[in-house]
């Protein structure tokens, strides 16, 4: 009891630290065949032919399948809940293999072989003949007239355009004395870089297809595989074991449909698909590169009169999560810095780049970079301290969003900013660093973010849960919200223990593996919703289980249900606190009762019709070596109001991981493409500059714990928020240190060299 | 699983030479930190390998009878960094190879592999050039020694004759090179670990007895051209000059007369040139400090 709020050790911690945890490869049948994919070596065009003869002649090659063999069933891949409204269903623009290849790395053919060497030799032996078409990589060039077209159904390459109008922008900007602060802000394509590359294996059993996959979303994958293969959804079984991270890349059907289909083409034998790191960078998903154009009209006191925001989102070659990302990004502008007169537009545009999908933050790291950069540009133009400006204009207490019904119940933003300011010693350092004039200059930067916990009311939010009372008085719990490394299982164990009345979270056995034949239906791990959403069904199901236990106890103890409670794993008589029997005694009695035997279980589904605002900020201290064009992070702090912490140790770890991701986003990460061929240049961990531990200062995580009233456990989003405000805080710290604005990330030495040279900071 | 035709395990240097003559198409493998990566990528797929990994006679750092520092080609980066002879006489080499990859790579990777790759970005290469190292090559006709400058023929190609069965067996630093000499290396990279050099700069200096004059300054760059290179104009300028910041400034600018970095997607020529000037200055300032000079 009282487990919620404690720093408990992860339920899967020891096994993961000692290498005993089983991932999909550890469960691989010994006779699995290797499927290896031939990827397109042009950025855009048609496959005219594939000569498979040399590949088929290789010893060990079992079968070669090409884009001319696949069923003509377009399917969607995004890991969204299914919508019963055809207008809100995901775009079905995928085939298992493609004759019309739309990016360098598209899937053309697959070689299935007895071993990996033969499969790779087979892939290299395939001779593909293409008819090449012109290609386009840049989002705005793809919108131009005459640009190469990717999808017939989407003329002009525009997947979707939405807008938001508020007040009267045109009239508002005529107000006397306004200052216009305009900027273009560019964010790059980046990849999730989870430790475990994507992989899966599939086999047929009794006429049904089973896929064991490194996925975040087993129940959704079942639907997608069913759609892709033209089979009833229940004919598909998906098993999700432990996975080595996902960050949204695995919130998409990646190669599960192809792997399942390959199995059906070799008589149901087990087939495995294992992505290499190089493939993961290019042929899985990336984060959308979004370009923003912001025009802010501000009064000399910093208040915002009117604002125009244009967002151009680079979708890459296929729709995947599509417009949802930039729509969320655009939506944030009106929330975090409310303004009465706004004109916002967002376009999602196909280009011949790798497909963009979900990635931790879902549009917010991009929007935060642009918005927080613009806020600092406003502060600079008005000669106001950027922190003071934020404290003045950021979302006020009591702010309510009419669409989501979200409410800012406390003055969370100012509380977070206050805490961060104190930690970083803001006033003293800003004054001291302003005196730096030499080659080494120091600076402080701040940025804030706004985040929605889940997807309500845009999509369905549902959580199902099953609890079983075991004979030793422990409880087994199953749900569809998946453990993907974030520690969800541990949080669930803590919540379950408290609701049922168990002594310890160790008395809860959370079944970590989801199996769509067995696990109650849930939507998986995405958004920042697991703890919040699962909390509703854990509360409801736990109370149901407790009621059933007490009802049975009534038969044994002759006490009325209302007079009993479960405390520390014992049935207790409430008025005098007497322990009547243990849960183990009760379970044994119930199971082996010759007259009324009962295995006590509870199961329920909760439809969540709430969402919650999550808030926070980053403060960062940098030291800029101007001649060397290098930024060293000296200190960084994230402050979050994510409601009540279920497990402070896990919360801190979650923030550390997000901050690291934000540092990489800010300082080094970006996928590069050859302008002449569209070929990815740096799809490996050497040339893609993910930050290392040597690039990190101490990561400080702090919290403001305002109880979230809509949650049964007072909690809300912390999964994605830590990744949102780090990059713009670094950008603003460089501005503070050098006076130079860098309007694109990553802020690596190349761009610093260019900008410092432009601003006359370099001697030569 | 590697797409490997065969693996021949050499039992001695003589055996390695014999294997090389017998299998001229085979690739020599030592630590494997480059060869196996390339094999996995498909670049060397299907090749036979001759492993020299077990030849302990090619491991370790000693001072030979001519007072050369002798580094066996199979000596790992980790062992070089922690070796007392290196630390005493040419500490900068230990510091430079301590910037290769991460700890696992430094435990496996060897200085012989680093130089035999013939790549300009190798972290040991600019320091070995700046210290005028000699390369010991052993073949069927015995041992020959050549200056490291001559060992590098062009990008990716070094002077090892397959038809002679040659392998690199040691790297030597002559006493005349390391005596009273102190150096500093700057690896300029995009992150602080697990990276390849955007530019490597290695400078060493010997000062006059009173510490006021540059007696001998040598500077070499990696990634300033297709192979590691010395900046001879800059050296000619500074040698014999007074130890002053103004001279060091000019020395830095002079390197632009020597180097020829290229534009690539990894970095622009202008950027590499800018960093070369700044790195040259900083390296020389550090070298002066280590040599006991005053600025």
B98 in contact with chain A, both atoms CB, cutoff 8 A: no
Using a CB-CB cut-off of 8 Å, the residues of chain A touching B268 are 750
Chain A residues closer than 8 Å to B275 by CB: 628-629
Interchain contact B266–A (C-beta under 8 A): yes
Q: Running along chain A, 764 residues long, what does each successive block of 10 average in pLDDT?
A: 95 97 98 98 98 98 98 97 93 98 98 97 98 98 98 97 98 98 98 98 97 98 98 97 98 98 98 98 98 98 98 98 97 96 98 98 98 98 98 97 89 98 98 96 98 91 97 97 97 98 98 97 94 97 98 96 97 97 97 96 96 96 98 98 98 98 98 98 97 96 97 97 98 98 98 98 84
Q: How much of chain A, in percent, has pLDDT values that exceed 90?
A: 98
Region of A157 (left: φ > 0; alpha: ψ -120 to 50; beta: rest) is left
Pairwise CB contact (< 8 Å): A692 & B194:
yes
Q: What is the pLDDT of residue A152?
A: 96
ipTM for the predicted complex comes to: 0.96
Q: Which chain A residue shows the shortest CA-CA distance from B272?
A: A750
| Residue A507 CB partners (closer than 8 Å, separation 6+) | A473, A474, A475, A497, A569
- Give pLDDT, residue A764: 63
Sheet strands side by side (includes B214-222): B182-188, B199-207, B214-222, B229-230
Spacing of C-alpha A365 from chain mean position: 11
Residue B107 preceded by cis peptide, ω within 30: no
Kind and range of the H or E run holding A278: helix A277-283
Nearest to A199 by CA among A303, A279, A80, A107: A279
Q: Do A686 and B194 touch (CB under 8 A)?
A: yes
Residue pair A668/B191 in contact by the 8 Å Cβ criterion: yes
The minimal CB distance from B3 to the residues A117, A627, A668 is found for: A117
Q: Distance between terminal CA atoms of chain B?
A: 57
Q: Provide, as residue numbers in chain B, all residues whose Cβ is less than 8 Å from the Cβ of A124.
A: 42, 45
Q: Helices (DSSP H) in A62-157: which residue ranges?
A: 116-125, 139-143
CB nearest B191 (choices: A627, A689, A764): A689
Q: Decide if B274 and A748 are in contact by the 8 Å CB cutoff.
A: no
Q: Please report the DSSP string for A497-521 in residue order.
A: HHHHT-S-GGGEEE---EETTTSPP
| Contact residues, chain A, for B189 at CB < 8 Å | none
Of A121, A762, A764, the CB nearest to B3: A121
Contacts A278 to B, Cβ<8 Å: 41
Q: Are A10 and A114 in contact (CB under 8 A)?
A: no
**Nearest to A708, CA basis, from A635, A631, A644:** A644
Residues of chain A neighbouring B190 (CB-CB closer than 8 A): 668, 689, 748-749
Q: Assess contact for B30 and B115: CB atoms under 8 A.
A: no
Numbered residues of chain A with Cβ closer than 8 Å to any chain B Cβ:
115-117, 120-121, 124, 278, 627-629, 667-668, 672, 674, 681-682, 685-687, 689, 691-695, 748-750, 753, 762, 764
Q: What pLDDT, on a 0 to 100 scale, did the predictor assign at position B152?
A: 97
Q: Is the dihedral of CA B265, B270, B276, B281 positive or negative?
A: negative
How distant is the Cα of B193 from the closest Cα of chain A, in angstroms? Answer: 6
Mean pLDDT of B259-287: 96
B34-51 average pLDDT score? 93
- ω into A457 cis (within 30 of 0): yes
Enclosing H/E stretch for B144 = strand B142-147
What count of other Cβ atoms lies within 10 Å of the Cβ of residue A293?
Answer: 16
Cβ <8 Å between A121 and B274: no
Does any CB of chain A come closer than 8 Å to the CB of residue B198?
yes
Looking at the complex, report in whole angstroms how far the Cα of residue B237 sits from the nearest Cα belonging to chain A: 19
- H/E segment holding residue B272: helix B269-290
- CA nearest A444: which of A433, A458, A460? A433
The alpha-carbon gap from A719 to the nearest alpha carbon of chain B, in Å, equals: 26
CA–CA distance from A482 to each of A212, A279, A479 (Å)?
14, 25, 8
Measured CA to CA, the distance from residue A188 to residue A291 in angstroms comes to 9
What pLDDT, in 10s, does the model give residues B79-121? 999 999 999 999 999 999 999 999 999 999 999 999 999 999 9
The reply to whether residue B253 touches residue A686, judged by beta carbons under 8 angstroms, is no
Model confidence over A1-29: pLDDT tens digits? 799 999 999 999 999 999 999 999 999 99
Contact (CB, 8 A) for A454 and A533: yes
The distance in angstroms from the start CA to the end CA of chain A is 67
Interface test with chain A among B269, B278, B282, by most A beta carbons within 10 Å = B278
Report pLDDT for A1.
73
> Is B1 a residue whose pLDDT tops 90?
no
pTM beyond cutoff 0.90: yes
Q: How far is B81 from chain A (nearest CA, A)?
A: 19
Nearest CA distance, B34 vs chain A (angstrom): 13
pLDDT for A405? 85
Residue in chain A closest to B194 (alpha carbons) equals: A686
pLDDT at A763: 80
Cα–Cα distance measured from residue A689 to residue A667, given in angstroms and rounded to the nearest whole number: 8
Per-residue model confidence (pLDDT) at position A636: 98
């Amino acid at each position: 009891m009282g487990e919620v709020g404690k720093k408990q050790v992860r339920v899967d911690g020891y096994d993961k630290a000692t290498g005993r945890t089983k991932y999909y490869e550890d469960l691989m049948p010994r006779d699995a065949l290797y499927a290896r994919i031939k990827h397109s070596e042009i950025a855009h065009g048609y496959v005219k032919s594939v000569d498979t003869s040399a590949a088929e002649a290789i010893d060990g090659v079992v079968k070669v399948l090409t884009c001319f063999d696949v069923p003509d069933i377009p399917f969607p891949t995004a890991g969204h809940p299914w919508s019963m409204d055809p207008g809100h269903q995901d775009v079905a623009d995928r085939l298992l293999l493609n004759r019309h290849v739309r990016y360098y790395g598209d899937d053309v053919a697959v070689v299935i072989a007895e071993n990996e060497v033969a499969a790779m030799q087979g892939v290299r032996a395939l001779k593909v003949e293409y008819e090449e078409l012109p290609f386009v990589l840049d989002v705005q060039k793809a919108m131009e007239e005459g640009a190469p077209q990717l999808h017939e159904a989407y003329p002009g390459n525009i997947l979707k355009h939405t807008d938001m109008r508020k007040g009267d922008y045109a009239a508002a900007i005529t107000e006397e004395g306004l200052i216009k602060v305009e900027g273009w802000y560019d964010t790059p394509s980046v990849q999730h870089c989870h430790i475990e590359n994507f992989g899966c294996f599939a086999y047929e059993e009794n006429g049904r297809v089973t896929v064991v996959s490194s996925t975040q979303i087993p129940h959704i994958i079942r639907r997608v595989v069913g759609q892709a293969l033209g089979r009833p959804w229940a004919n598909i079984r998906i098993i999700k074991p432990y996975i080595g991270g996902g960050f949204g890349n695995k919130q998409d059907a990646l190669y599960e449909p192809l792997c399942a289909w390959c199995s059906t083409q070799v008589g149901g034998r087990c087939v495995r698909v294992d992505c290499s790191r190089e493939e993961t960078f290019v042929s899985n998903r990336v984060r959308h590169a979004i370009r923003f154009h912001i025009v802010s009209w501000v009064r000399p006191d910093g208040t915002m009169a009117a604002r125009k925001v244009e967002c151009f989102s680079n979708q890459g070659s296929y729709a995947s999560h599509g417009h949802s990302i930039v729509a969320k990004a655009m939506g944030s502008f009106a929330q975090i810095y409310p303004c009465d007169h706004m004109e916002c537009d967002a376009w999602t545009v196909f280009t011949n780049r790798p497909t963009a999908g979900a990635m931790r933050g879902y549009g917010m790291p991009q929007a935060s970079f642009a918005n927080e950069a613009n806020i600092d540009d406003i502060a600079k133009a008005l000669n106001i301290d950027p922190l003071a400006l934020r404290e003045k204009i950021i979302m006020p207490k009591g702010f309510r969003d009419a669409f989501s019904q979200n409410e800012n119940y406390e003055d969370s933003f100012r509380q977070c900013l206050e805490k961060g300011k104190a930690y970083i010693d803001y006033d003293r350092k800003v004054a001291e660093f302003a005196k730096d004039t030499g080659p080494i200059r120091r600076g402080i930067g701040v940025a804030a973010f706004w985040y929605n916990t889940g997807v309500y009311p845009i999509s369905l939010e549902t959580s199902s849960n099953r609890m079983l009372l075991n004979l030793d008085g422990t409880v087994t719990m199953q749900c569809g919200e998946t453990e993907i490394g974030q520690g969800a299982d541990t949080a669930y164990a803590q919540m379950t223990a408290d609701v049922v009345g168990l002594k310890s979270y160790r008395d809860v056995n959370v079944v970590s593996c989801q199996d769509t034949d067995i696990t109650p239906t849930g939507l998986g791990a995405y958004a920042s919703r697991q703890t919040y959403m699962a909390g509703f069904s854990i509360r409801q199901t736990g109370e149901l289980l407790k009621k059933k236990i007490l009802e049975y106890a009534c038969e044994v103890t002759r006490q009325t249900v209302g007079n009993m409670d479960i405390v520390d794993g014992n049935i207790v008589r409430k008025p005098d606190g007497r322990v009547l029997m243990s849960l183990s005694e009760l379970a044994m009695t119930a199971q082996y009762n010759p007259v009324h035997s009962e295995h006590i279980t509870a199961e329920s589904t909760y439809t969540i019709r709430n969402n919650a605002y999550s808030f926070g900020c980053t403060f960062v201290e940098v030291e800029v070596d101007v001649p060397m064009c290098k930024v060293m992070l000296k200190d960084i702090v994230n402050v979050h109001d994510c409601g009540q912490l279920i497990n402070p140790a896990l919360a801190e770890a979650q923030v550390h991981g997000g901050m690291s991701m934000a540092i990489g986003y800010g300082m080094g990460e970006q996928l590069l493409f050859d302008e002449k061929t569209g070929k990815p240049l740096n799809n490996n961990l050497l040339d893609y500059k993910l930050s290392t531990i040597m690039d990190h200062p101490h990561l400080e995580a702090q919290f403001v714990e305002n109880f979230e009233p809509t949650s049964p456990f007072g909690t809300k989003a912390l999964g994605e928020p830590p990744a949102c405000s780090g990059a713009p805080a670094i950008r603003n710290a460089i501005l503070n240190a050098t006076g130079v604005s860098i309007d694109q990330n990553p802020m690596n030495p190349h761009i610093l060299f260019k900008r410092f040279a432009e601003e006359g900071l370099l001697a030569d | 699983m590697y797409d490997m035709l065969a693996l021949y395990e050499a039992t001695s240097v003589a055996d390695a030479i014999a294997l090389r003559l017998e299998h001229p198409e085979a690739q020599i493998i030592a630590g494997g930190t480059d060869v196996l990566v390339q094999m996995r990528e498909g670049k060397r797929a299907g090749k036979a390998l001759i492993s020299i990994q077990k030849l302990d006679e090619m491991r370790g750092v000693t001072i030979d009878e001519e007072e050369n520092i002798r580094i066996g080609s199979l000596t790992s980066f980790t062992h070089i960094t922690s070796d007392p002879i290196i630390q005493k006489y040419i500490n900068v080499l230990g510091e430079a190879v301590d910037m290769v990859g991460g700890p696992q790579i430094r435990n496996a990777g060897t200085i012989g592999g680093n130089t035999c790759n013939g790549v300009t970005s190798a972290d040991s290469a600019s320091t070995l050039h700046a210290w005028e190292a000699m390369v010991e090559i052993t073949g069927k006709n015995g041992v020959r020694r050549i200056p490291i400058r001559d060992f590098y023929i062009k990008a990716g190609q070094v002077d090892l004759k397959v038809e002679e069965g040659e392998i690199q067996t040691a790297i030597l630093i002559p006493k005349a090179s390391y005596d009273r000499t102190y150096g500093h290396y700057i690896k300029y990279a995009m992150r602080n670990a697990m990276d390849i050099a955007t530019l490597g700069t290695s400078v060493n200096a010997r000062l006059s007895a009173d510490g006021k004059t540059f007696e001998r300054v040598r500077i070499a760059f990696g990634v300033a051209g297709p192979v590691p290179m010395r900046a001879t104009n800059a050296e000619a300028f500074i040698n014999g000059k007074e130890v002053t910041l103004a001279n060091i400034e000019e020395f830095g600018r002079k390197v632009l007369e020597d180097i020829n970095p290229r534009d690539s997607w990894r970095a622009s020529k202008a950027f590499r040139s800018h960093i070369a000037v700044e790195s040259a200055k900083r390296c020389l300032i550090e070298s002066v400090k280590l040599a006991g000079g005053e600025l």
